Amino acid sequence: MKADKNYIINIRRQLHQIPEIGFELPKTLALVRRELEAIGLPYTETYGKSCIVATLNEGIGNKTIAIRADMDALPVQEETGLSFASTHPGKMHACGHDCHTAMLLGTAKKLKEMEKEIQCCVKFVFQSAEEGPGGAKTLCDDGLMDQVDMMIGCHLYPDKPSGTVSINKICQNAGSHGFKVHLYGKSCHVAKPHQGVDAIAMAVRVCTDIQIMRARELNPFDPVIIGIGEIHGGKANNVVCDYVMMHGTIRTHSNELDEHIYKRIEQISQGVATDMGGSAIVETTKYYPVLINDTAVADAIIQTAEKIVGRDKLYESPLTMGAEDFAYYTLCKPSAMFCLGAMPADGKFAPLHNGKMTVNEDVLDIAPNVFIQFVLDNM
C-alpha cells in the first residue's frame, strides 16, 4: 500500500523547475491535469480559482475525505544550485508546495490502484494562491466543503528532523491580517513647521503607541505580533511631510483578539492625528483566520501516523506565528493539518521562504503513506 517514492520525486523535480505565483499557474495546472489523466481520475476546475479537484469513488460509501495540496510558489530568486532549479527568474518553490503537489499526486496514484479496497469517496484538492491572497477561500466560497465530510493536509518543513510527523491538536497556525494607516497632515517649509502638520511625526507616534498598546494593554500570555513592515512618506528633506502610509500585520491565536487589535489601531491612529491637527484612515485587510485543528481529526491523524513512522518520530508541534490558508477549511468542516520534517541529510538547512531552501527528498513518500492509511482507517 506504499506510495511510489520515485514517482513523487520525479514529479516534484518537474514542478520545482516551473514555479508560478498566486492564481497564475498555467504550467503547474497543465502538469497536474496531465498526471490525473494518466492516473485515470476525473477532475473538475469548477471550484475556486486556478484550482483542480479530482475525485475517486464518486458516490461510494457514506463519507467523503478530502486531501489538500497547495501549488503556488514565491517571488524569490533561487540560490540552491540544484540541477533541477527554477527556470523562472525571480520565482522559486521556497515553501515546499512543489513537494505538496507531488505528494498528493503520489497519493492519488496509489489510491487509484487500490480503488476496489476504498469504501468511501476521496477528493484530491490542488489549490492555488496559499501564499496570497488565499486560494482556499475561493474553494470554500464555491461550495467545495459542502461536498466533503473532512479535510486533511500536510506542510513540509526543512527545519524539522527528517521523517518526523508533528501536529498541534489545538492551534496549528496563527491568524494573519494586514492593515494600512493613512496619515494626512499639511505641508510647509521646514523652516516654518508651525505652519504645517507633520505626517511623519504622526507616524512615529502611531507606531510607538501601537507597540505600547501591545506591551501594556494586552495579556502577556497571549501570543501577539503587531509589526509595521512598510512606511512611505515625504518628498524632500526641507519640506514638512503631508502624507504617510504605514503597512503592518497582525498575528494572533485568537480571531476575537484580532478584532480588538484592529479597533485599537484605528482608535490610536485617529487619536494621534486629531491631537496633531491632521486626520487618519485605517484600511484593514483580513487574510487568514487562525488554523484550529479539529481534535477528533487530529487524533485520527496521530493514530494513523504512528503506524507509518512509529511513536519515536511522532510529536506535538509547538505553537507558531506562521499562517496558513488551510484555516478556511477548518471553519467549514472538521479538518486538520500535520507537519512533515524534511531536514537535509547533512543537517544543514535554510528556512522556508529562503532562496537556498532545500529538502530531503527521501521522506517525500511519508505524507502520502499517512494519507493512504488515513483513508483506510477512516473510510
Per-residue pLDDT of 320-368, as tens digits, reads 999 999 999 999 999 999 999 999 999 999 999 999 999 999 999 999 9
Which amino acid appears at position 21 of this protein? I
85 Cβ neighbours under 8 A, 6+ residues apart: 16, 17, 78
Report the predicted TM-score, pTM, of the whole model to 2 decimal places. 0.92
Q: Which residue has the cell 515553501?
A: 95
- Least confident piece of the model among 37-41, 131-135, 296-300: 131-135
Residue 282 has pLDDT above 90, yes or no: yes
Which DSSP symbol is given to 176?
E
Burial 269-285 (b: 16+ CB within 10 A, else e): bbebbeebebbbebeee
pLDDT attached to residue 1: 76
How far apart CA 304 and CA 108 sit, in angstroms, is 18
Distance of CA 256 to the CA centre of its chain: 20
- Cα angle vertex 340, ends 3, 109, to 5°? 20
How far apart CA 299 and CA 294 sit, in angstroms, is 9
- pLDDT-above-90 percentage for the chain: 97
Question: What are the backbone dihedrals phi and psi of residue 11, each rounded to the nearest 5 degrees, phi first?
Answer: -65, -40
Residue 253, judged by CB atoms within 10 A of its CB (0-12, 13-18, 19+), counts as: buried
Q: How confident is the model at residue 170 (pLDDT cuts 50, 70, 90)?
A: confident
Write out pLDDT tens, residues 243-275: 999 999 999 999 899 999 999 999 999 999 999
pLDDT attached to residue 73: 98
Residue 190 has pLDDT above 80, yes or no: yes
How far apart CA 138 and CA 11 sit, in angstroms, is 26
pLDDT attached to residue 285: 84
pLDDT, the chain, mean = 96
Residue 319 has pLDDT above 90, yes or no: no
pLDDT attached to residue 286: 78
42-54 average pLDDT score: 98
Q: How confident is the model at residue 166 (pLDDT cuts 50, 70, 90)?
A: very high
How far apart CA 18 and CA 85 sit, in angstroms, is 9
Residue 171 has pLDDT above 90, yes or no: no
pLDDT attached to residue 157: 97
pLDDT attached to residue 378: 97
- pLDDT-above-70 percentage for the chain: 100
pLDDT attached to residue 255: 86
